Amino acid sequence: MTLRRRLAVAITTLLVVTALAFVGVALSQRAYLIAQLDERLSTLTTDGRALLAIANRADAGNGAAAGLLTDVYIGVLRANGALVTVLTPNADPGLVPVLLGNERDAGPLTRAIVGGGERVRLVEVPLNGGRYAVVALSIAGVEAAFRRLLLALGLAWLGVAAVIGLVAYWVDRLGLRPIARLTSAAEHVTASGGRAPVQVETADPQTEAGRLGHAFNAMVATTAAGQEELRRFVADASHELRTPLTTLRGYSSLYAAGGLASSEQVADAMGRINAEATRMGRIVDDLLDLTALTDSAALELRPLDLGTVIEELAADLRVRNPDRAVVVERTGATIVLADPDRIRQALTALVANAVKYSPDGSPVVLGAQRLGPMVRARVTDRGRGIPVEELPRVFDRFYRVRSAAAAGAPAPATPKGSGLGLAIVAAIVSAHGGRYGVDSVPGQGSTFWLELTGSDGAVPARA
């Protein structure tokens, strides 16, 4: 049973129980008023002869006697069955009860009156000579009170039903309908295998259903983005691995067909196979690095001076490229809380990228500076730069700037990379909770930078 159906059943049950309770209250009140009439009849009929005498005096004009019996009917039922009226109520002088013949010794009974309209409560009291005194009280007041009470309780029930209906509508609109939409959307996403992301209309974000809707939309969007990233990643990885695999398969087929006759040809083929296998291994290693960096708990955080790391990388670069000017710019306190090996890996990748895509002998500037609570490390080259439209994707996996040849840049001296270097930099910085980016002017060069939260901790002395 759905939650909406349960709510409908609960509301219906509540309204029925409330209606029955109100009817029970009305009937109980009517029974109480009838009991009061019966108690008065019992008091009046304690002595039938005395009551008849008082009635005769009242009928004769005795004011005191008439004042006691203003609303009472008194009659005498003779032995032959004829009813003789002795006294009638002042408000209804024509009131005569209808007797059915079974009233003797039956106690108080309800009977109609001649001509219909209202009813009375009567009792018969035995007199001498086979006669009976008939004493009756009108129950018109009781019936009127009962009807007024029923009307009041009916209006109260309608008010309760209206309030419950409004509450049910409010619960349905703000709670059940959004949940139903979420259920339908979730079923649609499941049926499509997650390939059709669905955004649901969200309710008030202050309500639980509203927050659930926002969370669902965010989850679907994140899942869709992740699946799209995964599909693109698989496609790119397949593309990157297809080339070395094709090379390996080609040389192996050539060797099997006897196309490598001389030892020099075999040695050249083996060298190319080894180079392609090395490239495949580098791609796999980079992919493993990216997988490991998705878990920030794997980092070994401790105080690290980014300025010192920059100086060390500059010294290494001067040794490897003595003809290139390497400048170090360091300002302020540059201590951060980070994993030293991963940060050195990221900065090394940025330095290697600057050397690869800038002319031989052009300067490289390495910097570290404090910017408020953050510490920024940057690597600046004087290479060809990156077009503005390609800047948002340079940190994507397997993405390479397509305008390299058009820019007239020199061919890199090192083998073609895996296309994962900058993606690994982005993953390392994101795992640290930092920021990364690039500023570039085509034809003038690029500045790659990363920012980490500064720390006041002391850096341990190196062995």
Over residues 126-140, the pLDDT tens digits come to 888 788 888 999 998
Q: What confidence score (pLDDT) does residue 410 get?
A: 45
Q: For residue 309, name the pLDDT band (cuts at 50, 70, 90).
A: very high
Model confidence pLDDT, tens digit, residues 90-118? 888 888 999 888 888 888 999 998 887 78
pLDDT at 204: 66
Q: What is the pLDDT of residues 233-268, one digit of tens each?
A: 777 677 777 878 888 888 888 888 888 778 888 888
| Res 243: pLDDT | 74
- Is the confidence at residue 231, as pLDDT, over 50? yes
The pLDDT > 70 percentage for the chain reads 86
User: Is residue 450 scored above 90 in pLDDT?
Assistant: yes
The structural domains of the chain, ordered by start, are 3-145 (3.30.450), 208-292 (1.10.287.130), 299-453 (3.30.565.10)
pLDDT in tens, 347-367: 999 999 999 889 988 999 999
Q: What is the pLDDT of residues 142-179, one digit of tens each?
A: 999 999 999 999 999 999 999 999 988 887 777 777 77
At residue 417, the pLDDT reads: 59
Q: How far apart (Å, rounded) are the C-alpha atoms in residues 88 and 70? A: 8
Which is more confident, 371 or 457? Answer: 371
Question: With 80 as the cut, is the pLDDT of residue 227 above it?
Answer: no
The answer to whether residue 41 scores a pLDDT higher than 50 is yes
To the nearest whole number, what is the mean pLDDT of the chain?
83
- Report pLDDT for 344: 93
Lowest average pLDDT, out of 64-73, 124-133, 166-175, 315-324, goes to 64-73
pTM of the model: 0.51
**What pLDDT was estimated at residue 459?**
57
Of 414 and 73, the structure prediction assigns the larger pLDDT to 73
What confidence tens digit (pLDDT) does each residue in 332-350 have? Answer: 899 999 999 999 999 999 9
39-43, 77-81, 174-178, 446-450: least confidently modelled range:
174-178
Does the pLDDT value for residue 414 go beyond 60? no
Residue 90 has φ and ψ, to the nearest 5°, of: -60, -35
Per-residue pLDDT band for 187 (boundaries 50, 70, 90) equals confident
Q: Is residue 282 predicted with pLDDT exceeding 70?
A: yes
